Amino acid sequence: MGTELDRNILVYFENRFVPLREARVGILTHALHYGTGVFEGIRGYWDADQQELFLVRPRGHYARWRANCGILNIDLPLSTPELCELTVELVRRNRFQSNLYIRPLAYKSAERIGVHPDEQDAFAVVALPFGDYLDSRRGLHAGVASWRRVEDNAIPGRAKICGAYVNSALAGDEARRNGFDEAIFLTESGHVAEGAACNLFLVREGKLITPPVTENILEGITRASAMELARQELRLEVVERRVDRSELYVCDELFFTGTAVEIAPIVRVDHRPVGEARIGPVTAALRKLYADAMRGQLPAYRKWVLPVYHPAAAAQAA
Ligand SMILES: Cc1ncc(COP(=O)(O)O)c(C=O)c1O
């Protein structure tokens, strides 16, 4: 996953651009002990033909980040447009010409013992060259986790709260040790929620089905993109409803969505084939649409990408 870490890469930390090797936090930092941070994950795609790097839906990611920081009472001093500008500046300063993963992190930064949070907040933005998260080209084998998805009234899963990712780490680790590529979470009531770090869709009887946001899922931006592409470009009916576990075993197609996983087909689930155990036509079509849209190649979806190097030319093309 990704290339070897270059510690000379510039990152934004404590209100300035510094080399990654200098961006350090103290051992007593509140977020390190108690998980009191909120992060984001944004992709950037390099298109060699256009000599352009496209940030994928940065406004949506930063708006979600700002809203979810509110759950932990973390104050972010920059607006969504300012955060987009900062990210463009970060990529330009590093002169990146490769696919990227951008990791904004806001956190409770006081250095002391004691779980009660205070008003000391900090944030950082790191951009790293990044390849495939899961090798999904031939399709994945997913397994239902024995761990249940964290409940909204315990730790809200709709926000990317650092501490909640213990839940994902436990399920993801279990899945890999059991020979699966990725985990599928059920809720406490036994309905399908999502993957350890991705949302989940089924195709049944020509409809695209996904659990609603009230099922303790992260409100995925790739999920929203996939739903819009399916409705607008494939003219599919998209239904948000509760999904039973056994529907995973009888559906025609199954796939994950997420910034890191992109649109990842699942061809086996719990040792059972999904459909013909091949990448299905809806999944394949959505994968292609998504890849083209996020590289600025579909005029109707230029609204989703922010070009870093030639914004004026890109605006004209749109
Ligand atoms: C638990 C979880 N679900 C879903 C997603 C997908 O969200 P998005 O498409 O916004 O990246 C993520 C992303 O990291 C995640 O961590």
* Cα 215 from chain centroid (whole Å): 17
139: left (phi over 0), alpha (psi -120 to 50) or beta: left
Show the beta-strand stretches assigned E in the chain: 10-13, 16-19, 37-39, 42-47, 52-56, 100-108, 121-129, 140-148, 182-186, 192-195, 199-204, 207-210, 238-240, 253-258, 262-269, 272-273, 305-307
Q: Which atom of ligand 1 is nearest to the CA of 225?
A: 9
Q: How many angstroms is it from 113 CA to the middle of ligand 1? A: 31
Say what the pLDDT of residue 317 is. Answer: 47
Nearest protein Cα to ligand 1, atom 2 = 197
Give the residue ranges of the chain where pLDDT is below 70: 1-3, 312-318
Nearest-5° angle of CA 289, CA 228, CA 268?
65
Number of Cβ within 10 Å of residue 176's Cβ equals 14
Q: Which atom of ligand 1 is nearest to the CA of 222?
A: 9
Catalogue the active-site residues.
Answer: 160
Q: How many angstroms is it from 154 CA to the middle of ligand 1? A: 19
User: 213-235: per-residue pLDDT in tens?
Assistant: 999 999 999 999 999 999 999 99
Residues lining ligand 1, Cβ inside 6 A:
41, 160, 168, 194, 197-199, 218, 220-223, 257-260
Nearest protein Cα to ligand 1, atom 5 = 198
Q: How many angstroms is it from 197 CA to the middle of ligand 1? A: 5
Cβ-based neighbours of 134, under 8 Å, separated by 6 or more: 140, 181, 182, 260, 261, 264
Contact 238, 225 (CB under 8 A): no
Nearest protein Cα to ligand 1, atom 7 = 220
Nearest protein Cα to ligand 1, atom 16 = 197
Say what the pLDDT of residue 312 is. Answer: 66
Domains with residue ranges and CATH for the chain:
10-129 (3.30.470.10), 140-293 (3.20.10.10)
Cβ-based neighbours of 141, under 8 Å, separated by 6 or more: 179, 180, 181, 266, 267, 268, 269, 271
Say what the pLDDT of residue 313 is. Answer: 60
Q: How many angstroms is it from 201 CA to the middle of ligand 1? A: 13
State the residue for tokens 């680790």.
173
Cα(134)–Cα(195) distance, integer angstroms:
13
User: 237-272: per-residue pLDDT in tens?
Assistant: 999 999 999 999 999 999 999 999 999 999 999 999
Q: What is the DSSP string of 107-156?
A: EE--BSS-SS--S-EEEEEEEEE---SS--TT-EEEEEEEEEPPPTTTS-
Phi–psi pair at 38, nearest 5 degrees: -130, 130
Q: Which atom of ligand 1 is nearest to the CA of 223?
A: 9
Residue count of the chain: 318
Cα(166)–Cα(6) distance, integer angstroms:
27
Q: Residue 201 corresponds to which tokens in the numbers above?
A: 């869709």
Nearest protein Cα to ligand 1, atom 6 = 258
Cβ-based neighbours of 177, under 8 Å, separated by 6 or more: none
Cα(26)–Cα(29) distance, integer angstroms:
6
Q: Please give the span between the terminal C-alpha atoms of the chain, in angstroms, as a whole number.
A: 33
Q: How many angstroms is it from 116 CA to the middle of ligand 1? A: 28
